[in-house]
Structure 1
Amino acid sequence: MNPTFETVTVSVENSVGWLRLNRPDRANAFDMRMWKDLPLAAKWLGNQPEVRVVVLRGEGKHFCSGIDISVVTELENLVTAPGCAGRAREGVIAFIELAQAAFTSLEEMRVPVIAAIHGACIGGGIDLAAACDIRLAANGSTFCIKEIDLAIVPDAGTVQRLRHVIGYSNLVELTYTAESFGADRARELGLVSRVLASPEALFETATEMAANIAAKSPLAVRGIKRHLLWSREHNVRDGLSYVAAWNGNMLISDDTMEAIAAQAQKRQATYLD
């Protein structure tokens, strides 16, 4: 039985995990509960041995519109509460770390996460998308790194992750200006790899892509994700040493033997989870 959360839903279909933001009446904006639910949902999906890839999407008309106004109120109450200023600031740091951990939980999943973006992808929505491995968007989607308009520094992963995705210069411009841009511009920047004509086409394509990945060797898929993240943080020489050590252990796997046999016999390979 799938677990129940207040702000997200999870399901597994044909080796594909589905993670849906489920606050459509608030355009899937993050409140405190969603920041707590997201890592729990990611952990549950990650613990299902049959899950080989995850698709993340929003219910309703939007992917994620950022931070719910209730969070701003909670932060104001935290910093203005009577008592020790140091403890109040410690509470703010704890809140920031809670948000950071929620987004990082997607990046730390051992399987790839596909973000299927439609409607608004604003502020925290960008943080969310940046933590995913593949990003697809529907025509009509709107993107914005919004934090500067709230007089805050982006603190949940956009700055750290997107410079590897869209390049430093593009990141600097978008972070300073809070410029809104559409799906085609997102593709030009490399923020998304495909733009689909409609949300329906987006979800269909995400499903097909997930099925494609789920049919590959789970060991190879998980190894590629580990290596891609490792290479992002290390130099070429270290990355080559890392993948040599990985493949030195994995090239004798049952998956490799099955892949070779399937190609020789002109059939679809079948892998254990």
Structure 2
Amino acid sequence: MFSSRVSSGLRTARRHIASVSPVISQGVSMSSAAPGYTYETLAITKPKEHVFQVEINRPDKLNSMNKVFWREVGEVFHQLGDDSECRAVVLSGAGRMFTAGIDLSDLTEIAGVAFGENDVARKCRALKGVIASFQASFTAPEKCVKPVIAAVHNACIGGGVDLICSADMRYCSSDAWFQVKEVEVGLAADVGTLQRLPKILGSESLVRELVFSARKMYSSEALQCGLVSRVFPDKESLLAGAVEMASMIANKSPVAVQTSKMALVHARDHSVQEGLDYVASLNMAMLQSEDVRIAAIAAMKKETPVFAKL
């Protein structure tokens, strides 16, 4: 019975993907390619100094998330976290939409594991390993100490919502819409949406409505409820605005910015006093940074400070 429900859900999802109009743009960003970043499903560019753009680059598949993508998205944010040239990241999608969510061929493969001939203990072990690896990949943007701005245009479906919930900021174009789609294919979202979205929106009622019904949320509502902080007229202005903000962040002290991100992520999951203790422990070291002196002198002279790589 459960197998038939999953199969039915997969057929529904396939019809949805097939109904979306063809990709109208398959090129990647006009920014210069970032050396040392070679990925199959991602295009990495440097639109501005110290700003990197990570573009989901499967436009012919509506940027659906296959097994290679799940691995690479974790790898690229680990690499960016260690790259001293990077101070801020813009996450976007190539082509017509941000992402159609999980690649259905991979979902079929996972269902095959669930209904295979192994006994239940072995199937559970295999499935938990797959889920845990997906979770780690989508937690990578959150763990990356560089601020990440998700720039969403058109559709952001299923796993796309999980992914952007791990970003620090979310911008979108006016044609954007978001859908926690997992219940429509017989699943509970398991890579971050159910854990992070309630803390982003602050409304359990709204979160449960979106999760249980799988209805679409459009850009105006996303702005009103706080899922995104800015809405732009189109994809072009969206990317320009995201890069501009990333560049503004990149001009600040990397010590201050990255320490702030660490403290904010910690504070979200701990009490106020625990958060205060944590940032005190961070700043007893970070306040000794040369960046503090550079920033103070630049402020007094009304100059733009220049900070060393970190």
Q: TM-score range by the shorter chain?
A: over 0.9
TM-superposed deviation, 1:151: 1.8
Secondary structure of 1:54's match? Answer: strand
Q: Are the aligned partners of 1:20 and 1:59 in contact in 2 as well (CA < 8 Å)?
A: yes
Whether 1:171 and 2:191 are equivalent positions in the alignment is no
Whether 1:215 and 2:251 are equivalent positions in the alignment is yes
Match of 2:72 in 1: 37
Partner AA of 1:115 in structure 2: A
Among residues 186, 198, 211, which one is paired with 2:234 in the alignment? 198
Whether 1:122 and 2:157 are equivalent positions in the alignment is yes
Match of 1:234 in 2: 270
Q: For residues 299 and 212 of structure 2, what CA distance do their matches in structure 1 show?
A: 51
Match of 1:257 in 2: 293
Secondary structure of 1:5's match? Answer: coil
Partner AA of 1:41 in structure 2: V
Q: For residues 148 and 87 of structure 1, what CA distance do their matches in structure 2 show?
A: 25
Per-residue CA deviation, residues 206-227 of structure 1 (Å, 9 max, x unaligned), is 1100100000000000011000
Q: For residues 104 and 141 of structure 1, what CA distance do their matches in structure 2 show?
A: 23
Per-residue CA deviation, residues 18-71 of structure 1 (Å, 9 max, x unaligned), is 111111111111111110111111122222111001110001111111111111
Q: Are the aligned partners of 1:10 and 1:45 in contact in 2 as well (CA < 8 Å)?
A: no
Q: For residues 179 and 76 of structure 1, what CA distance do their matches in structure 2 show?
A: 24
Q: Residues 129-140 of structure 1 correspond to what in structure 2 (within 5 A)?
A: 129-140=164-175
Q: For residues 97 and 243 of structure 2, what CA distance do their matches in structure 1 show?
A: 18
Moved over 3 A (4+): none
Number of equivalenced pairs: 273
TM-superposed deviation, 1:179: 1.3
Per-residue CA deviation, residues 155-213 of structure 1 (Å, 9 max, x unaligned), is 11001111111022221121111110111110111000000001000000011001000
Secondary structure of 1:165's match? Answer: helix
Q: Identify the range of structure 1 (51-60 vs 36-45) with the bigger mean alpha-carbon deviation.
A: 36-45
Secondary structure of 2:91's match? Answer: strand
Match of 2:284 in 1: 248
TM-superposed deviation, 1:129: 0.5
For structure 2, which runs of at least 5 residues remain unmatched after alignment? 1-34
Q: For residues 294 and 66 of structure 2, what CA distance do their matches in structure 1 show?
A: 46
Secondary structure of 2:307's match? Answer: coil
Match of 1:52 in 2: 87
TM-score for both structures, normalised by structure 1: 0.97
TM-superposed deviation, 1:90: 1.5
Q: For residues 112 and 272 of structure 2, what CA distance do their matches in structure 1 show?
A: 47
Secondary structure of 1:164's match? Answer: helix
Q: Are the aligned partners of 1:122 and 1:146 in contact in 2 as well (CA < 8 Å)?
A: yes
Q: Are the aligned partners of 1:2 and 1:10 in contact in 2 as well (CA < 8 Å)?
A: no
Q: Percentage identity across aligned positions?
A: 37
Partner AA of 2:62 in structure 1: A
RMSD over aligned Cα, in angstroms?
1.2
Among residues 18, 26, 36, which one is paired with 2:53 in the alignment? 18
TM-superposed deviation, 1:92: 1.3
Whether 1:5 and 2:39 are equivalent positions in the alignment is yes
Q: Residues 24-173 of structure 1 correspond to what in structure 2 (within 5 A)?
A: 24-167=59-202, 168-173=204-209
TM-superposed deviation, 1:245: 2.5
Q: CA 1:231/1:7 → structure 2, altered by over 3 Å: closer, same or farther? A: same
Secondary structure of 2:199's match? Answer: coil
TM-score for both structures, normalised by structure 2: 0.85
Q: Are the aligned partners of 1:42 and 1:106 in contact in 2 as well (CA < 8 Å)?
A: yes
Secondary structure of 1:207's match? Answer: helix
Partner AA of 1:211 in structure 2: S
Partner AA of 2:42 in structure 1: V
TM-superposed deviation, 1:244: 2.2
